Chains A and B, each alone.
Chain A
């Protein structure tokens, strides 16, 4: 293809997509096909011609999709045209591109292809928040990744094959010990159970027909109830652990965090995945901070996970993860390295404690609902004769108290040379280091009760991550001083005279 006068030439997706699109479609229909064959439903026409027809439709759809999809990268836009009967045109300004994400599922990998997902800041001009090229060859994907993140890069293929790369972290298999401590452990066990159940269901087998299962069930019902509970929960734990280990391995196999030099000052790149390979690149110019997240189990195991706060990252659970669950010190190190800052000036900064009034507030907010639940339990226990319900619910009170105290102990904030550092939470403790330059506004919130206690919630508004990061229950004067020190020009005109 030759260059058109008005810019870059239009390019097509990789030719191999003609085969990959029908194949992935067929794989998705595989369970149905197996079911049809196994259960011998329908006559010969149904069993033979329907699948053939579906296959033909899939192939045609694949060809049409390939023929009608075009993309190009001009000096200042990325454009994608798709669709046959319903044509779609997407266009993303290149200066709004925040992230470039490469994903290869199994079928794509077999054919050496990669999906390029371009993440952009959603703006006012009506441009979509990004686009996906599904899919191009691996070398083309890598070229696109560098070209889109590095605006100065020439569009010619004669660039040096490798940009200078700095390795910041890589997988240690000892981190597998943190896998069962994450929430995905529960999700993983659920997935294992669902898969097993589906398999039985699809095959039309009642689990009770499997020899041994019925006997085991009999033994369980005959045994005392505590033994049954023990055995069932033991099985659940084992399945959860296995599921979480598998999930961890699938997600984080071959994990590497690197920094590549670009004309704009570098980009962070996370590569990972066993079956599905992923590569997430974040331009450092778009990085607004980092957070270290410690869900309660992970915290108990002295582990933590680091995420990047960047504009244009997806907000799902995996969005922006810079590292698998890792030892706490390692997580803080990676957060600091990603921010090019000393850990003591980022997420490891010594934090300022919040006033005692904050502890009282935590206590009332935890104990009042717990007390309400306890009184309901007592009332229900009397109404329905379950006399143990009320006394048993009393355990909620010390639990709520411990939660409140821990929540108070975790509260903290500090302003360092380049970052605001904030920490809060107990069940999910988060330590956020947000760049001072990334703060684009403030929200102060004060309820009647907070007003009486002289406290305020200060939320730093930013374009990245959750959009706002609050400092809970800080003393009113300190909260305003903290915000003012972070963005001196913004707040000064609105501070009360007497406070200055």
Chain B
């Protein structure tokens, strides 16, 4: 392939998610790292002396890899994740190793859901999911500011209710 690598000729969506989403992604990753590392560490401590040597090694390795992810990846995610809602369409970009651009026409939107997980509530964040008639079509914008999410959901609901038909 000749450089520079040809990226997808789509412009990125206009808006970034809330900067607090970085904290959210960090916390989530940290919880997972803890859940994986803690049992290994506990086992290594309880069996101290008789514990096989590799147990400490794997525990240390997963801890280092996990912490590296926690430090490096969330800011990357923040830079990649973008969204945009126009009069005609909802447009999102997400993913890290596999990037995903999703476009759903407003005229085909059936439901608009807002979701606050426990961590998201703590950080005053929310996710908005827009569902179309297709089983493969839901478009989710994660890590929005709570107020912005509510406003977006209200606006989307209004627009979709104004559209006649059953959106298939």
Contact = CB atoms under 8 A, between A and B. Distances in A.
B1 A452 contact: yes
Contacts of B139: 441
Contacts of A95: 166
A96 B110 CA distance: 13
Interface in B1-28: 1, 5-11, 13
B134 interface: yes
Interface stretch (B37-45, B58-66, B67-75, B100-108): B100-108
B7 A451 contact: yes
Contacts of B110: 123-124
A123 B166 contact: yes
A490 B88 contact: yes
Given A311-B133, A440-B137, A490-B89, A496 B104 contact: no
Contacts of A441: 102-105, 108, 132, 134, 137, 139
A461 B133 CA distance: 9
Given A121-B168, A461-B132, A493-B88, A445 B11 contact: no
Contacts of A493: 86, 88-89
Contacts of A489: 88
A475 B137 CA distance: 23
Given A445-B99, A453-B1, A476 B6 contact: yes
A445 B98 contact: yes
A499 B168 CA distance: 31
B104 A461 contact: yes
Given A124-B111, A446-B98, A467 B137 contact: yes
A461 B98 contact: no
B76 to A, nearest CB: 12
A443 interface: yes
B168 to A, nearest CB: 4
Most buried by A among B6, B100, B108: B6
B6 to A, nearest CB: 4
A477 B6 contact: yes
Does more than half of chain A's interface fall in helix, strand or loop, or is it mixed?
mixed
Contacts of A451: 5, 7, 99
Interface in B77-94: 84, 86, 88-89, 91
A175 to B, nearest CB: 32
Nearest to B1: A454
Contacts of A491: 103
B99 A494 contact: no
Contacts of B100: 443-446
B135 interface: yes
Contacts of B46: none
A96 B166 contact: yes
Given A493-B86, A494-B10, A497-B11, A442 B168 contact: no
Contact of A444 (B1, B5, B10, B105): B10
B97 interface: yes
A440 B9 contact: no
Contacts of B137: 440-441, 461, 467-468
Given A459-B136, A466-B136, A499 B104 contact: no
Contacts of B98: 445-448
A448 B9 contact: no
Given A357-B1, A443-B102, A480 B8 contact: yes
Most buried by B among A442, A477, A495: A442
Contact of A461 (B7, B9, B134): B134
Contacts of B105: 440-441, 487, 490
Contacts of B97: 447-448
A498 B11 CA distance: 10
A124 B129 CA distance: 13
A193 B14 CA distance: 61
A359 interface: no
A447 to B, nearest CB: 5
Given A311-B168, A357-B1, A452-B1, A443 B7 contact: no
A123 B165 CA distance: 12
A454 B136 contact: no
A208 B97 CA distance: 58
A348 to B, nearest CB: 26
Given A441-B137, A487-B105, 4 more contacts: A95-B166, A442-B102, A452-B1, A496-B9
27 contacts: A95-B166, A121-B166, A357-B1, A440-B137, A441-B102, A441-B105, A442-B102, A442-B103, A443-B136, A445-B99, A445-B101, A446-B99, A446-B100, A447-B98, A453-B1, A454-B1, A461-B136, A461-B137, A463-B133, A463-B168, A475-B6, A476-B8, A490-B105, A494-B84, A495-B10, A496-B11, A497-B11
By Cβ-Cβ distance, the 6 closest A-B pairs, closest first, are: A499-B9, A468-B136, A467-B135, A467-B136, A463-B133, A444-B101
Interface of B: 1, 5-11, 13, 84, 86, 88-89, 91, 95, 97-105, 108, 110-111, 131-137, 139, 166-168
